[in-house]
């Protein structure tokens, strides 16, 4: 039988991340990482919750938040902040940047190698660079 195979890729992925493969974490991981539409998803907690509900997965919002943060800490997701009061979680954890469409609130990936950062200033003494985010904010409306 191919379904319910105990050691599917997702189960392994969670275990490697040090997270117990619970019902809800598996369901969320599936929605996030095996979405039919492909990868490079930028999703909010509310959106993921809506998807889960639509997929008949019963999960509380609290668990959505817990899971998103745990996945992020484990390196399975990356948090992107472009707008105060709303966090996006990006399934693309490779080095890359973003276009942000201010009108629609949509994000679009820019491959890391498409942006060349020259002459980056050295960080202050004692500080280590955790990440460099480049956000290109664009408008689509003819304003």
- Contacting positions for its own copies (CB under 8 A): 79, 81-87, 99, 101-102, 108, 110, 114-121, 123-124, 126-140
Q: From residue 39, how far is each of 16, 77, 96, 138 by CA, in Å?
A: 20, 12, 14, 22
Distance from C-alpha of 107 to C-alpha of 105, rounded to nearest angstrom: 7
Q: Residue 82: name its binding partner from its own copies, DNA, none (Cβ under 5 to 8 Å by kind).
A: its own copies
Q: Residue 136: name its binding partner from its own copies, DNA, none (Cβ under 5 to 8 Å by kind).
A: its own copies
Instruction: Examine residue 34 and tell whether it contacts DNA (CB under 7 A).
Output: no
Q: How far is the CB of 126 from its own copies (least distance, A)?
A: 6
- Centre a 10 Å sphere on the Cβ of residue 128 and count the other Cβ atoms it contains: 5
Nearer to DNA by Cβ, of 39 and 58: the residue is: 58
Q: How far is the CB of 48 from its own copies (least distance, A)?
A: 15
- Under 8 Å between Cβ of 14 and 21: yes
Return all residues near 51 (Cβ < 8 A) that are at least 6 apart.
31, 43
Site string for DNA, 118-137 (x = CB under 7 A): --------------------
- Centre a 10 Å sphere on the Cβ of residue 3 and count the other Cβ atoms it contains: 5
Q: How far is the CB of 22 from DNA (least distance, A)?
A: 3
Binding site for DNA (CB under 7 A): 15, 19-25, 44-46, 58-63, 65-67, 69, 84-87
């Amino acid at each position: 039988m191919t379904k319910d195979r105990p050691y599917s890729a997702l189960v392994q992925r969670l275990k490697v991340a040090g997270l117990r493969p619970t019902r809800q974490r598996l369901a969320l991981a599936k929605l996030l990482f095996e979405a039919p539409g492909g990868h490079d998803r930028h999703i909010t907690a509310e959106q993921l919750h809506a998807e889960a509900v639509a997929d008949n997965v019963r999960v509380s919002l609290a668990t959505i938040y817990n899971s998103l943060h745990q996945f992020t800490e484990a390196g399975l997701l990356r948090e992107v902040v472009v707008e105060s009061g709303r966090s996006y979680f990006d399934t693309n954890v490779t080095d890359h940047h973003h276009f942000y469409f201010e009108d629609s609130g949509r994000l679009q990936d820019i491959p890391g190698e498409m942006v060349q950062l020259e002459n980056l200033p050295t960080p202050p003494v004692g500080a280590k660079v955790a990440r460099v985010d480049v956000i290109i904010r664009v408008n689509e409306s003819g304003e």
